[in-house]
């Protein structure tokens, strides 16, 4: 029997009673999906699965999403890092909010770890919104923000990655998105700004942006919103990109290898979201 053991009161649960090497029944998929929506990030321990099994499990919950920077166009994106500090993962973010349709979720599996370090944290963005005072909530619900790939690209280039900034900017122009995102399946409202991609709040002066945007971005850092995972080979984390943000701790200088599959929503799970995850290109009516 599949069981969920909460890791903290507000986010995260460990899942037992399932073997990801085997195909799942419809009932098992439905049970895991309910737990995923409730706990926002699920941790599966001792799941020594292949890439094919990883993909099979992921596609029970959505359609495959090709990550923006997966140059090899493989279905499983390999994250092989030794010194990741400053590459962007070590900032609170939800994945690829600069894309017209950001991925619904991600399934990240640990293959190799440093002797110590390399933890990942997730934060509950729904709780972050709910913790704001009612006047700030109302203000945020009226606002949109610009999401731009430029900041993360400049960091990647500075770390030695070979990207053509102008080409990337042309492919993913800045988008305007709601500051408060409505979850397609639950109807919950989540704070939807992040340090990796959000550059400004639309319609506010520079001084107003300087005061409000950093506050909203840093608000997600409150410990009561968070859960921290200490990885082990064979651990798989499955998170909801619509209701969480995450942070990869860059405290290691030894090789760390992770395999990731990202997914988009099935069409039936996008219908309730009026924004449907999409942004409006800045300057385009």
* pLDDT tens digits, 164-191: 778 878 888 999 999 999 999 999 999 9
Number of domains in the chain: 1
Which pTM was predicted? Answer: 0.91
Lowest mean pLDDT among 100-104, 135-139, 274-278: 274-278
Q: What CATH number does the domain containing 218 carry?
A: 3.60.130.10
Catalytic residue (one of 39, 40, 95, 109): 95
Whether 276 and 270 have beta carbons less than 8 Å apart is answered as yes
Give domain status of residue 89, yes or no: yes
Catalytic residue among 93, 181, 195, 200: 93
Mean pLDDT of 146-168: 78
Q: Residue 129: inside a domain, yes or no?
A: yes
Write out the H or E segment, with its range, that includes residue 226. Answer: strand 226-229
Does residue 219 carry a catalytic annotation?
no
Range of the domain at 240: 3-266
Average pLDDT rounded to a whole number, residues 224-231: 98
For residue 277, tell me if it sits in a domain: no
Residue 35 lies in a domain: yes
> How much of the chain, in percent, has pLDDT values that exceed 70?
90
pLDDT value of residue 282: 65
Per-residue pLDDT, 69: 64
Residue 101, judged by CB atoms within 10 A of its CB (0-12, 13-18, 19+), counts as middle
Q: What is the pLDDT of residue 116?
A: 95
Residue 142 within a domain: yes
Does any domain span residue 225? yes
Is residue 260 annotated as part of the catalytic site, yes or no? yes
């Amino acid at each position: 029997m599949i069981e969920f053991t909460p890791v903290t009161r507000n986010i995260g649960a460990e899942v037992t009673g399932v073997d990801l090497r085997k195909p799942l029944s419809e009932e098992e998929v439905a049970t895991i999906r309910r737990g995923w929506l409730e706990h926002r990030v699920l941790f599966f321990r001792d799941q020594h699965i292949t890439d094919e099994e990883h993909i099979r499990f992921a596609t029970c919950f959505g359609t495959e999403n090709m990550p923006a920077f997966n140059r090899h166009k493989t279905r499983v994106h390999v994250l092989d890092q030794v010194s990741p500090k400053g590459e962007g993962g070590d900032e609170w973010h939800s994945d690829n909010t600069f894309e017209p349709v950001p991925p619904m979720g991600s399934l990240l599996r640990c293959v190799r770890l440093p002797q110590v370090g390399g933890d990942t944290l997730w934060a509950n963005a729904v709780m972050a919104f709910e913790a704001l005072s009612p006047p700030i909530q109302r203000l945020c619900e009226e606002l949109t923000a610009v999401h731009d790939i430029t900041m993360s690209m400049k960091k990647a280039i500075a770390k030695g990655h070979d990207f053509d900034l102008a080409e990337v900017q042309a492919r993913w122009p800045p988008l305007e998105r709601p500051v408060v995102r409505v979850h397609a399946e639950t109807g919950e409202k989540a704070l939807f700004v992040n340090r990796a991609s959000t550059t400004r709040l639309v319609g506010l002066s520079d001084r107003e942006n300087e005061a409000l945007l950093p506050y909203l971005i840093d608000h997600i850092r409150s410990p009561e919103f968070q859960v921290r995972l200490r990885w082990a080979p064979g651990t798989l984390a499955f998170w909801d990109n619509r209701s969480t943000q995450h942070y990869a701790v860059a405290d290691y200088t030894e090789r760390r290898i992770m395999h990731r599959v990202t997914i988009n929503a099935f069409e039936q799970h996008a219908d309730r979201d009026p924004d449907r995850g999409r942004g409006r290109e800045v300057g385009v009516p």
